[in-house]
């Protein structure tokens, strides 16, 4: 940069940009420890009551769950979390298998419809969530399927397969096919070549795709909102419902825990990537 004053200004602007991204999240974390139950704006001392309330524990006054009565019951929150984890785990498994198979097919085989498949794989990512959500809703209802965790899992896989595909495809592009050709020339069957040569090299990409699928599935709100039945509420849908009914301190505590979890997952992702580079 030729102009030091300009660079300084740019640095200041950029730091402001990052403050803009992170300040709102810090606001939630701060509020979640504020003891004032009436006005969140006024600091009234440090408390863990909102967290205690979430886990069904008594607060300092011994007034069991009174403040946390808003979280209709801790059971509901935990049920939503459990649903989210079940959906994310199943979705990750299914979409990772399908997405990886597709990426291998498109990278290692030449065929007429390749372009078409490449386009098809991008479509679910590009389709606005609401369109996919109501499409699936009409589809399931027309078939007479009860909305449940199963319908959510089916719905999530339609777009997460594409995310896994993109990540694995990026990885496969950097792998030299010569090694596989050598294995095939030396008499390894297609299956053995895949298992012993390609998949080990591809593992970090597959893991990265799976992690991405898991995170997006845990966080998906719009599609789930349309295809979740009454008994199959996931965590984001549950929180959405709470927020629609009004701002309450308990939400700050839940939100803070979610922020903490996502920071840990992002750090895990970063760590995985750095290991990949080390190898």
Partner 1 sequence: MSRRRERAVLALLLAPVTLYLGVFFLVPLATIVVFSFLTPGLYGGVEWSFYHWNYGRIFGWADGITEVFEPVYLRILGRSLGFAALTVAICLVLCYPVAFWVSRLPERWRALFLFLVTLPFFSSLIVRLYAWLLILRPSGLLGEGLMALGLRSTPLELLYTPVAVVLGMVYVMIPFMFLPLFAAIDTLDRAQVEAALDLGATRTQAFLKVVLPQTLPGIAGGAVIVFIPSVGNFIVPDILGGARGLMVGNLVEQQFLAARNWPFGSALSVIIMTVVLTVLLVFVARLRARGA
If the CB atoms of residues 19 and 69 are measured against partner 1, the closer one turns out to be: 19
Task: List Cα–Cα distances, 85 to 159, 233, 242, 260, in angstroms.
Answer: 18, 12, 20, 16
**Nearest distance, CB of residue 74 and partner 1, angstroms:** 19
If the CB atoms of residues 1 and 62 are measured against partner 1, the closer one turns out to be: 1
Q: DSSP state, 36?
A: -
Q: How many residues does the chain have?
A: 279
Q: Which stretch binds partner 1 (CB under 8 A): 60-68, 85-93, 130-138, 199-207?
A: 130-138
Residue 134 is a binding residue for partner 1 (CB under 8 A)? yes
Q: Which stretch binds partner 1 (CB under 8 A): 64-72, 75-83, 119-127, 170-178?
A: 119-127
If the CB atoms of residues 58 and 276 are measured against partner 1, the closer one turns out to be: 276
* Phi and psi angles of residue 34, each rounded to the nearest 5 degrees, phi first: -85, 125
Task: List Cα–Cα distances, 50 to 74, 75, 78, 103, 225, in angstroms.
Answer: 12, 16, 15, 46, 26
Residue 101 is a binding residue for partner 1 (CB under 8 A)? yes
Cα(58)–Cα(43) distance, integer angstroms: 22
Do 124 and 61 contact (CB within 8 A), yes or no? no
Count interface residues toward partner 1 (CB under 8 A).
76
Residue 245 is a binding residue for partner 1 (CB under 8 A)? no
Task: State which of positions 215-234 bind partner 1 (CB under 8 A).
Answer: 215, 219, 221-222, 226
Q: Which stretch binds partner 1 (CB under 8 A): 46-54, 59-67, 114-122, 200-208?
A: 114-122
Q: Which residues of the chain form beta strands (DSSP E)?
A: none
Task: State which of positions 160-179 bind partner 1 (CB under 8 A).
Answer: 161
């Amino acid at each position: 940069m030729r102009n030091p004053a300009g660079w300084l200004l740019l640095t200041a602007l950029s730091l402001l940009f990052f403050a803009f991204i992170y300040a709102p999240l810090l606001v939630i974390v701060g509020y979640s420890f504020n003891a004032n139950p009436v006005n969140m704006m006024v600091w009234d001392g440090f408390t863990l009551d909102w967290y205690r309330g979430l886990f069904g524990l008594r607060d300092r006054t011994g007034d069991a769950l009174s403040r946390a009565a808003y979280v209709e019951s801790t059971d509901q929150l935990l049920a939503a979390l459990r649903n989210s984890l079940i959906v994310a785990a199943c979705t990750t498994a299914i979409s990772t298998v399908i997405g990886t198979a597709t990426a291998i097919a498109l990278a290692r085989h030449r065929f007429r419809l390749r372009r078409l498949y490449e386009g098809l794989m991008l479509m679910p990512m590009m389709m606005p969530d609401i369109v996919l959500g109501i499409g699936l809703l009409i589809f399931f209802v027309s078939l007479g399927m009860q909305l449940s965790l199963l319908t959510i899992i089916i719905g999530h896989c339609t777009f997460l397969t594409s995310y896994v595909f993109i990540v694995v495809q990026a990885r496969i592009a950097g792998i030299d096919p010569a090694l596989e050709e050598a294995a095939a020339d030396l008499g390894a069957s297609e299956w053995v070549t895949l298992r012993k040569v390609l998949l080990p090299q591809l593992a970090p990409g597959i893991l990265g795709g799976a992690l991405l699928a898991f995170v997006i599935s845990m966080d998906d709100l719009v599609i789930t909102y349309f295809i979740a039945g009454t008994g199959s509420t996931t965590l984001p849908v549950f929180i959405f419902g709470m927020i629609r009914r009004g701002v309450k301190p308990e939400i700050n505590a839940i939100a803070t825990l979610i922020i903490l979890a996502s920071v840990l997952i992002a750090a895990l992702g970063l760590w995985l990537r750095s290991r990949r580079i080390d190898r």
